[in-house]
Amino acid sequence: MDRLRKHIEEITPVSDEEFEHVKTFFTLKRIKKHQYLIQEGEQVNFEYLILSGIFRMFYLDHEGKEYIVQFAGENWWMADYQAYFNEKKASLHITCMEDAEILCLTLYGREKLSSDLHKMEHFFRVKLTKGYTAQQRRIISLLSSSPQQRYEEFGQLYPHMMQKIPKKYIAEYLGVSRETLSRLYSNNKGK
């Protein structure tokens, strides 16, 4: 739980007392590679803060094709927020790509913490702000950049993911076929 405190204090300091309270809403879970956190159609009861490991969140279309909404590693939050906030069934899948430890928080917990502690409301607002601008950047990139450029941008933004994640998933994240990405990649080795 130290990790959690450190994570929160990157944004706002909290007293020991306050943290004792915060702590009570989180539960630790260990997840193995290939295990699902959420699957389409399920009730979404939690959001997750990742302490270690890597996950991918994806949408599965009617033909069984995957489209990656987000990768998440250390200190990232993730959930099917659409479902979580509106208490609907999940429309996304989240699966573990590397053994992980995560902290789970219910919607009730999030809202209670936010109303009990102004600080925590602030914390969540700041986090959302960052997520919002990151998503906007991605939208612009999807609209305006070529696969080539998107691939390079991805590498710059998330060098760590670039190393650890199989290319086929990166392709799904970028919105290109595996083959096309492979060709970009090999044509560029030279330069």
Which residues make up the interface to its own copies (CB under 8 A)? 59, 61, 65, 67-69, 81-82, 85, 114-115, 118, 121-122, 124-125, 128-129, 131-133, 135-140, 142-144, 175
Segment holding 185, helix H or strand E: helix 178-188
Binding of DNA by 188 (CB under 7 A):
no
Cβ nearer to DNA, comparing 36 with 108 = 36
Q: Is 133 helix (H, G, I), strand (E, B) or coil?
A: helix
Instruction: Report the DSSP pairing between strands 66-72 and 93-106.
Output: unpaired
- CB of 33 closer than 8 Å to CB of 99: yes
Contact 180, 171 (CB under 8 A): yes
182 scored as a contact of DNA (CB under 7 A):
yes
Q: Is 168 in the site for DNA (CB under 7 A)?
A: yes
**143 is in the binding site of which of DNA, its own copies, none (Cβ under 5 to 8 A by kind)?**
its own copies
Q: Is 45 in the site for DNA (CB under 7 A)?
A: no
Residue 147 found at the interface with DNA (CB under 7 A): yes
Nearer to its own copies, 24 or 115 (CB): 115
Phi then psi dihedrals of residue 16, to 5 deg: -55, -45
DSSP type of residue 189? S
> Using CB distances below 5 to 8 A depending on partner kind, what does residue 135 bind out of DNA, its own copies, none?
its own copies
Shortest Cβ 152–DNA spacing (Å): 13
What residues from 74 to 103 belong to the interface with DNA (CB under 7 A)? Answer: none
Task: Say which amino acid occupies 167.
Answer: K
Which partner, its own copies, DNA, none, binds residue 177 by CB below 5 to 8 Å per kind?
DNA
- The closest alpha carbon to 57, from 43, 73, 45, 16, belongs to 73
List the one residue from 175, 188, 190, 191 that touches DNA (CB under 7 A): 175
How many other CB atoms sit within 10 Å of the CB of residue 56? 22
Out of 61, 62, 186, 190, the only residue in the binding site for DNA (CB under 7 A) is 186
d(CA 38, CA 189): 37
Helices (H) and strands (E) in the chain, counts: 9, 6
Q: Which residues bind DNA (CB under 7 A)?
A: 33-34, 146-148, 166-169, 175-180, 182-183, 185-186
